Each structure stands twice: as structure tokens, then as C-alpha cells.
Amino acid sequence: MKRGERLRVFAGRSHPQLARDICAHMGIPIGEASIKDFPDGEIDLKVECDVRGADVFVVQPTSPPVHDSLFELLSFIDCLRRASAETITAVIPYFGYARKDRKDEGRVPINAKLVANLIAVAGAHRVVAIDLHAAQIQGFFDIPVDHLYARPVLMEKVRELGADRPIVVSPDVGGTKLARAYAKDLRADLAIVDKRRISGSETVVENVVGDVNNRDVVLVDDMISTGGSISDAARIVKERGAKRVFIVASHAVLCGDAVKKLDACPAETILFTDTIPLRGQRPAKLVQASVAPLLARAIDRIHRSESVSSLFDNSPRDIETR
């Protein structure tokens, strides 16, 4: 077999449906592997097909349960390296721990960097990620990172919402660049909610910078975790006179009471991608857009050694600098 002639896509247990959808788009069967737990909770993993000399992709968002997802990814990479795969690409549609990307106080770890180190040390040659919380996280890896954007996928659905005199609103200052990219696509104005974080689960909304009165608001964020930031933002824009409110986010982390908060907030549509599987309750006003075709195109190009950045020819460059 010639170098890199074969392509295999495997799924960890955190999002097998997404991996199946990617394979369906590519017209290839999913790689066979058996993943179970030993009685004590340790992972019992075996790849059931030959990968020697192949370009191998493992699809595994490191979403909750974060440590199970992460360790299973590391174990999968180790297994493929020892099975003599030619190249191993970790396809991580949602990269957990991304918010822990700096020391914002003394005596705290930088877990995003730790996770990047672990993935490279396990034996990955490349990472594919979607909407990293901060684009600079690419620099935590000493291996190539193909950073994809969910925006073109979500924008197709946003356009179908038929927003009247839309204004794009970021729920915090940190999300301004992402919101600006959506505003450019929609040729809409931009406003920002002045949010202060008190703890991991508590935020206070102080003000809206910009006039949302009598406008349809498209609230944009990279992730919704507890749902506190976005539901507070939805409420304050409504108080300031917004007509309809639509929530758009790349990653549906949805922990704790997030679904209840989303159901209770005044947004009429909640639009997510499927980078993370929805477990348990689903928001009542949910619309989903799949990243499977985007990931399928990226995997195909990486396997053929073709440009991946050309997938983003229509994307404003400034999103990179968030």
C-alpha cells in the first residue's frame, strides 16, 4: 500500500452520530472499533481494522463528560500510533477547557495548554477544531491546527429566519469579533451587552451598548454553557425594545439548568450546530445546523493534501484575531 493511500474515520463515544454523518457525506464506511469500559471504569478500546500506513481521523468533541471524552481521545490516538497509522488527526469539533486559556489570577493552571500538550504527546499529527473559544489556542499546539468556522453553516439558517431590520448583539465584550463577522454577513449593525462575570456560573448584565429598539436581534455567542449569559442578554435587549430575539451559538454545551433558562428566555429561536450531541432535554425552540458536510470537506482535503483555508475564502479575516 502506498503512503497515505487509505483514509479511515473513527468515532469515539462522545459523538458517534456526527462521525457517521461525516462518513455518509464522504461515502465511506466508518472505521470499526470496539470501545467499552472495564468494570472499574477504565477504557477498553480496540481498533478492529487495519490502519497501517493510513491517514486516520478520530472524531471526538471533548464535551461533557469532559474527562471521559478527553481520555478516550488520548487512548484512541495512542492505539492508532501503536498500530502504525501514517498520520493521525484529532477532529475535535468542540474543544473543552478552551476558556481556561490564561492565568487570570495567581496560582491557577492553564488547562487549555495542558490538553493541547496531552493530545500532541499521545501522538496526534494534526488537529481539526471548530470555533475555538479563542483563536490563539491554535498556538498552544506544536502540530498543525485547522481551525474551521461554523458561521457559514449557521448563516444559512439565520438568513431563513427573515429578521426585520436585524441587529447582531454580542452577549459580552469578548464575543464582539465573532458578532461583527455575523453583522458583516447580514449587513446589519452591531451592539454589545455589558456583562460582568462573577463566577463560573454567575454573571451580571449591566447595559446594552447600541440601540436595539424596534429591531430584530440576532444574539451570537460561541458557546452556551449554563445559559446564564445568553438568557440575561435576551432579557435585556427585550427590555430595551427589541422586537424578536434569535439566539445563535456554535456549541451547545448546555449544562445545569441551561435548557430551562433557554426555554424561559424571550428568544423565539435557538440555533445551534451539532458539534456537541444534545443529551436529555432539548430546548423547545431549537433549530440545528449540521457541521458534518464542513468536516467531511476538511477531512477530504487534508487527506488529499489540498488547501483547507480555501474553505473559508468568503470569511472576514478579522475573526482570526478574537
When the beta carbons of 265 and 308 are compared against ligand R5P, the nearer one is: 265
When the beta carbons of 93 and 228 are compared against ligand R5P, the nearer one is: 228
| Shortest spacing between CB 230 and ligand R5P, in angstroms | 6
Q: Is 285 a catalytic residue?
A: no
Per the listing, cell 448584565 goes with 205
When the beta carbons of 12 and 227 are compared against ligand R5P, the nearer one is: 227
Which positions touch ligand R5P (CB under 6 A)?
Answer: 99, 171-172, 174-175, 203, 221-230
| Shortest spacing between CB 215 and ligand R5P, in angstroms | 21
| Shortest spacing between CB 213 and ligand R5P, in angstroms | 24
When the beta carbons of 22 and 179 are compared against ligand R5P, the nearer one is: 179
| Shortest spacing between CB 175 and ligand R5P, in angstroms | 5
| Shortest spacing between CB 227 and ligand R5P, in angstroms | 5
The catalytic residue among 184, 195, 260, 261 is 195
When the beta carbons of 253 and 299 are compared against ligand R5P, the nearer one is: 253
- Catalytic residue ranges: 195
